[in-house]
Amino acid sequence: MKKTLEFKFPFYRFAGLDFYNCYASVYLFLQGSTVSNVDYYCQAMEKKGCNECWECADSLQEKSERLNQLFGMIFDGSWTTQRRSFSGTQTKIQKELAEKYDDFEGKIASEVDFLAGFTGYSYEKITVEFKENIVSAINADVPVIAKVKDSETFRVIIGYEDDALIEPDYRPIEHLPTIDDLLSYEKIEYLCIFKEKIQPKYTFSDVFKAMQKVMDSDFTEGVSYDIKHHVFSGNVTDLPVAEVKKRFKRFRELMDIVPNLGHSIRLPFGDKALLTELGMDIERHREFLATLEEQGHLLHERGYMLIAISTTIIDLELADSDNFPWDKQGLVHAAAQIYDSVIDCDLKILLAIKQAIQCNS
Q: Which of 197, 213, 248 is the last residue of a domain?
A: 197
Long-range CB pairs of 312-319 (<8 Å, 24+ gap) are 313/244, 313/245, 313/248, 314/245, 314/248, 314/249, 314/252, 316/241, 316/245, 318/241, 319/241
- Interatomic CA distance for residues 130 and 149, integer angstroms: 13
Q: Are 212 and 239 found together in one domain?
A: yes
Residue 245 clears pLDDT 70, i.e. is over it: yes
Q: Are 16 and 161 found together in one domain?
A: yes
Q: What is the mean pLDDT of residues 24-31?
A: 91
The pLDDT assigned to 114 comes to 93
Q: Which of 169, 197, 225 is the last residue of a domain?
A: 197
Q: Are 40 and 104 found together in one domain?
A: yes
Q: Are 190 and 211 found together in one domain?
A: no
pLDDT, one tens digit per residue, over 168-217 is 988 878 787 877 788 999 999 999 999 889 999 999 999 999 999 999 99
- Interatomic CA distance for residues 359 and 361, integer angstroms: 6
In degrees rounded to 5, what are phi and psi of residue 34? -130, 155
The pLDDT assigned to 316 comes to 92
Q: Are 135 and 214 found together in one domain?
A: no
| DSSP one-letter string for 24-37 | HHHHHHHHT---S-
What distance lies between CA 159 and its chain's CA centroid?
A: 29
Q: Are 226 and 176 found together in one domain?
A: no
What is the number of domains present in the chain? 2
C-alpha distances in Å from residue 272, one per residue of 12, 188, 241? 20, 37, 49
| Angle at the Cα of 104 from the Cα atoms of 99 and 108, rounded to 5 degrees | 110
Instruction: Answer for the pair 285, 357: CB distance below 8 angstroms, yes or no.
Output: no
Rg of the Cα atoms in the chain: 23
Q: What is the mean pLDDT of residues 283-302?
A: 95
Q: Are 157 and 36 found together in one domain?
A: yes
Q: Are 261 and 188 found together in one domain?
A: no
Residue type at 178 in one-letter notation: T
Residue 71 clears pLDDT 90, i.e. is over it: no
Q: Which domain holds residue 323?
A: 204-360
* Residue 226 vs residue 13, higher pLDDT: 226
Instruction: Answer for the pair 185, 100: CB distance below 8 angstroms, yes or no.
Output: no
Q: Are 305 and 354 found together in one domain?
A: yes
Q: What is the mean pLDDT of residues 24-29?
A: 92
Tell me if the pTM is above 0.85. Answer: yes
- Interatomic CA distance for residues 94 and 228, integer angstroms: 20
Residues forming a β-bridge with 164: 161
- Separation of first and last alpha carbons in the chain: 53
Long-range CB pairs of 93-97 (<8 Å, 24+ gap) are 93/213, 93/214, 93/217, 93/218, 93/221, 96/217
- Average pLDDT, whole number, for the chain? 90
pLDDT, one tens digit per residue, over 138-155 is 999 999 999 999 998 999
Beta-carbon contacts of residue 351 (< 8 Å; ≥ 6 apart): 291
Q: Label residue 68 by pLDDT band (50, 70, 90).
A: confident
| Angle at the Cα of 326 from the Cα atoms of 322 and 329, rounded to 5 degrees | 100
Q: What is the mean pLDDT of residues 256-280?
A: 91
Q: Which of 197, 231, 258 is the last residue of a domain?
A: 197
Q: Label residue 53 by pLDDT band (50, 70, 90).
A: low
**Residue 189 buriedness (CB in 10 A; 0-12 / 13-18 / 19+):** middle
Q: Label residue 346 by pLDDT band (50, 70, 90).
A: very high
Q: Are 216 and 192 found together in one domain?
A: no
